[in-house]
Amino acid sequence: MVKHVKRFYIFIHQRFVFELLFSCIGA
C-alpha cells in the first residue's frame, strides 16, 4: 500500500516538474 502511494506521488511530482518546465520554456 505504502509503496503504491510512493509511486503515485513520484508520478505526480514528475508531471508537475514537467508542466513547470514546459511553462518556463513556453513563456
- In the chain, how long is the greatest CA-to-CA distance? 39
Q: Could you identify the residue written with the cell 513563456?
A: 27
Domain that holds residue 17: 1-27
Measured in whole angstroms, the distance separating CA 5 from the mean position of its chain's CA atoms is 14
Q: Supply the pTM of this predicted model.
A: 0.51
**What pLDDT score was predicted for residue 27?**
64
Q: For residues 24 and 4, what is the distance between their CA atoms, to the nearest angstrom? A: 31
pLDDT in tens, 1-27: 788 999 999 999 999 999 999 998 886
**What pLDDT score was predicted for residue 23?**
93
For the CA atoms of 17, 11, 6, 2, the dihedral, rounded to the nearest 10 degrees, stands at 150
Structural domains in the chain (count): 1
